[in-house]
Amino acid sequence: MPDVSWALGRATELAERGPQHGGNPRVGCVLLAADGAVVSEGWHGGAGTAHAEAAALAGADPARLRGATAVVTLEPCHHSGRTPPCSRALHAAGIARVVHAVGDPDPVASGGARWLAGQGVDVLTAEDAGVPVDVTGRAARVSAAWVTAMRRRRPWVVGKSAMSLDGRVAAADGTSRWITGAAARTHAHTVRADVDAVVVGTGTVLTDDPALTARRADGTLACHQPLRVVVGRRAVPPGAALRQAPGDWLHLPTRDLRAALDQLWDAGVRRVLVEGGPTLLSRALREHLVDELHAYLAPVLLGGGLPAVTDLGVSTLAGAPRWRPVTTRTLGEDLLVVAHRPEGDL
Ligand SMILES: NC(=O)c1ccc[n+]([C@@H]2O[C@H](COP(=O)([O-])OP(=O)(O)OC[C@H]3O[C@@H](n4cnc5c(N)ncnc54)[C@H](OP(=O)(O)O)[C@@H]3O)[C@@H](O)[C@H]2O)c1
């Protein structure tokens, strides 16, 4: 058997090139000939473009596909959307074996593994194919946010806060621009450019008047602009910057965050960035609606002012949920900590 473990690791690297916005999962695919040589590889570049399997098949010499193994990070789809089903394309090309890391939770697109097995293709999960747990785990993580959102039928929520070392997002006099440096702010814009929607509360709109666009370091607009969403009962002022900026924006005049997320889900939003402020972020945390936290920490002490989060309903240390650190990196003089909600709380 060709080195499926290596191929799944490579497929994961390829998947990571794809966008996290646009409603589709990140997927990578490596096609291995019967002798283990790599025939071709592909990844999904976002909604409306070829799926990873189709991209890999398109780049392959058809003669080398008979009896080949397709190694994919996600079960091949089995439905005709903007692109034809990958299950049928793999079968038609003569693929003999399919190894996938994660099953497709989308009720519309799933069923590829069963259909392929019914056609006599040898279909294995990565685990059954003997791929080591760390390789399978990394492959699963590449689409975990999308998979979780699909299973739950609610967007994956990233909560963001840019704070001082002592956890403040504004000084005592209300000044808050800028707590973090240029590198951290540029990074935050790349995150904006990789979500379907950016959400803030009315308080942030009335205080800061943000445009909420995703911008590059030179100030130009990024290729993908998220939907800009304001949540809260107060009106968005007629002259608000987010009204003038290019792209779509939406005011949800409610404090019911679950209903707001349901409405965004129905509008096709799968990945959301809640940028604050502290009132909105705290409510979202308290209601267990935040899946991933991005805490930008600047080496400045404010001693007072607005805390990044307020009452979370935690009364004793033992009752405080411990988040799972995913990455820590320095951005200029600042630090970014990315953490996921504790397992089992999803
Ligand atoms: N450093 C950072 O990362 C960062 C990011 C954003 C903001 N900020 C700072 O935060 C400050 C603004 O803070 P803020 O807390 O007033 O802003 P906010 O969280 O954006 O807005 C709070 C408002 O949101 C509405 N809201 C929507 N859903 C709600 C819910 N479930 N529960 C309660 N209220 C809800 C309420 O207004 P309605 O009465 O309209 O319903 C509430 O007053 C500014 O100084 C800004 O600079 C800092």
pLDDT of 296: 98
Average pLDDT over residues 295-315: 96
264 CA from centroid of ligand 1 (Å)? 19
What pLDDT score was predicted for residue 303?
96
The predicted pLDDT at position 346 comes to 46
* Mean confidence (pLDDT) of the chain: 94
Strands (E), the chain: 28-32, 38-43, 69-74, 97-102, 122-125, 156-164, 168-170, 197-201, 227-231, 249-252, 271-276, 292-298, 306-307, 324-331, 334-340
Instruction: Return the structure tokens found at 257.
Output: 């965050």
Binding-site positions for Zn(2+) read 51, 77, 86
> Does ligand 1 come within 6 angstroms of the Cβ of 176?
yes
> Is the CB of 159 within 6 Å of ligand 1?
no
Q: How far is the CA of 282 from the centre of ligand 1 (A)?
A: 9
Distance 237 CA to ligand 1 centre (A): 15
Q: Is 30 in the pocket of ligand 1 (CB under 6 A)?
A: no
CA of 99 to the centre of ligand 1 (A): 46
Whether 277 is in the pocket of ligand 1, judged by its Cβ within 6 Å, is yes
Give the pLDDT confidence score for residue 80 in this predicted structure: 80
Which ligand 1 atom lies nearest to the CA of residue 256? 31
pLDDT of the residue at 72: 98
Q: Same CATH fold, 154-340 and 4-149? A: no
Residue nearest to atom 32 of ligand 1 (CA): 255
Q: pLDDT band at 120, cuts 50/70/90?
A: very high
Which mutation among 161, 169, 302 tests ligand 1's pocket best, with the greatest number of atoms within 8 A of CB? 169
In angstroms, rounded to a whole number, what is the distance separating the alpha carbons of residues 272 and 34? 42
| Residue 273 in contact with ligand 1 by CB distance below 6 A | no
pLDDT (tens digit per residue) in 316-345: 999 998 999 999 999 999 999 999 998 654
Q: How large a percentage of the chain has pLDDT more than 90?
A: 91
> Is any atom of ligand 1 closer than 6 Å to the C-beta of 232?
yes
Q: How far apart are CA 270 and CA 295, in angstroms?
A: 21
334 lines ligand 1 (CB under 6 A): no
pLDDT, tens digit, for every residue of 83-112? 789 999 999 999 999 999 999 888 777 789
Q: How far is the CA of 154 from the centre of ligand 1 (A)?
A: 22
Q: What CA–CA distances, in Å, run from 100 to 114, 140, 181, 262, 326?
A: 12, 10, 42, 30, 24
pLDDT at 79: 84
> What pLDDT score does 282 carry?
97
CATH of domain 154-340: 3.40.430.10
Rounded to whole angstroms, the Cα distance separating 52 from 122 reads 19
The CA 207 to ligand 1 mean position distance, Å, reads 9
Q: What is the pLDDT of residues 201-246, one digit of tens each?
A: 999 999 999 999 999 999 999 999 999 999 999 999 999 999 999 9
Query: What is the per-residue pLDDT for 2?
Result: 61
Counting atoms of ligand 1 from 1, which one is nearest the CA of 163? 1
Fold of 4-149: Cytidine Deaminase; domain 2 (3.40.140)
pLDDT at position 345 is 47
Q: Which atom of ligand 1 is nearest to the CA of 284?
A: 31
Model pLDDT, residue 338: 98
pLDDT bucket at 53, cuts 50 / 70 / 90: very high
Instruction: Please compute the mean of the pLDDT values over residues 114-127 and round it to a whole number.
Output: 96
The pLDDT confidence band at residue 288, using thresholds 50, 70 and 90, is very high
Percent of the chain with pLDDT over 70: 98
Q: Active-site positions?
A: 53
CB contact at 8 A, 39 and 61: yes
pLDDT for position 259 = 98
Q: Which atom of ligand 1 is nearest to the CA of 204?
A: 20
Give me the residue spans of the domains in the chain.
4-149, 154-340
pLDDT digits (tens, 9 = 90+) for 192-207: 999 999 999 999 999 9
Give the model's pLDDT for residue 108: 76
Distance between CA 163 and CA 169 in Å, rounded? Answer: 5
pLDDT at 172 over 90: yes
- Could you tell me if 252 and 260 are in contact, meaning their C-beta atoms sit under 8 angstroms apart? yes
What residue numbers does the annotated binding site for NADP(+) cover? 162, 178, 204, 208
Examine the pLDDT at 174 and tell me if it is beyond 50: yes
Cβ neighbours, 10 Å, residue 245: 17
Q: For ligand 1, is residue 279 a contact (CB within 6 Å)?
A: yes
Which atom of ligand 1 is the closest one to the Cα of 287?
31
According to DSSP, residue 272 is labeled E
